[in-house]
Amino acid sequence: MTKQMSKSQRRRANNNRSRMLTIGAIVVGALLIAVALILPNAKSGAEVVVPEAVTRPAGDGLMLGEITAPAKIEVFEDFQCPACVQFSEEIESLVLEKLVATGKAYYIFHNYPFLDTNSAAKESRGAANASLCANEQGKFWEYHDVLFANWNGENQGAFAPARLMEFATALKLNTEDFQACIDEDRYAAEVQASFDLGVEMGVEGTPTVFVNGVIITPGYIPSFEDIAAAVEAVQP
């Protein structure tokens, strides 16, 4: 009788142990899911850097200058790309001042979100969509500048949805309209079309610059001098 009860107790103990292990696995799984959901928004609440306002040539949305200019400069960028931050700060301003404002070139920005290809967060595409949401309110370039000013690592939460909303608030956009645009991923098709155009034209990284369809210094960040030489070569 005592031996039989001992077996029964062992069975109960084994069953209890199995239940505890199952519960433990469920708890660990829930924690991992919670961490995965929280991390993309970890940057939310940090101070937003708003650069000083920049005077750019007149244009239409992502395009600046006179469409009839003899040279067409097309730039493909990913907002998570550190080289694009450098290009924007050091080269783009010179291009706009000396080539676009003078009527020599027409400037077109293209989104080329590729740095989140293997990330579930899709921060490159989220930032690209957000930039077009800002464009709805006539603030593409201001939002462009804020994105680059607040970049601090690839797929680390810098461009999580909550953070993108904070940028819109800092720029005093209509946040209700902007939130709706973010929630809908309203410009997903346009962002994909821009990416596909880049692939078709031979873009393999960012920033990639074309002048009248010809790629400038493939594989390298083009200097202002590189771009200016290509623009001058097509002047009448």
Print pLDDT tens along the chain (236 aa). Answer: 334 445 555 555 555 555 554 554 454 344 444 434 444 444 456 899 999 989 999 999 999 999 999 999 999 999 999 999 999 999 999 999 999 999 999 999 999 999 999 999 999 999 999 999 999 999 999 999 999 999 988 999 999 999 999 999 999 999 999 999 999 999 999 999 999 999 999 999 999 999 999 999 998 999 999 999 999 999 99
Q: Is 160 exposed, middle or buried (0-12, 13-18, 19+ CB in 10 A)?
A: buried
Per the structure, the complete domain to which residue 23 belongs is given by: 2-41
Position 83 scores a pLDDT of 96
* Residue that is written with structure tokens 């462009």 in the block: 144
Is residue 99 located within the same domain as residue 13? no
> CA gyration radius for the chain?
25
Neighbours of 67 (CB within 10 A): 10
Helix (H) or strand (E) holding 60: strand 59-60
| Cα–Cα distance, 104 to 97 (Å, whole number) | 11
| pLDDT, tens only, 136-183 | 999 999 999 999 999 988 999 999 999 999 999 999 999 999 999 999
Domain of residue 211, CATH code: 3.40.30.10
- DSSP assigned state of 220: S
Residues 6+ positions from 115 with CB-CB distance below 8 Å: 78, 80, 81, 123, 124, 154, 155
| Whole-angstrom distance, CA of residue 227 vs CA of residue 220 | 12
Residues 96 and 23 in one domain: no
Residue 47 resides in a domain: no
Domains in the chain, number: 2
Alpha-carbon span 58 to 60, nearest angstrom: 7
69 in the same domain as 117? yes
For residue 39, the 8-state DSSP code is G
Q: Are residues 141 and 228 in the same domain?
A: yes
| Residues 81 and 165 occupy one common structural domain | yes
Do 9 and 109 have their domain in common?
no
Together in a domain, 37 and 63: no
Residue 24 and residue 101 in one domain? no
pLDDT recorded at residue 161: 96
Q: Is the pTM of this model over 0.75?
A: yes
**Residue 103 forms part of a structural domain:** yes
Same domain, 84 and 131: yes
- CB of 195 closer than 8 Å to CB of 113: yes
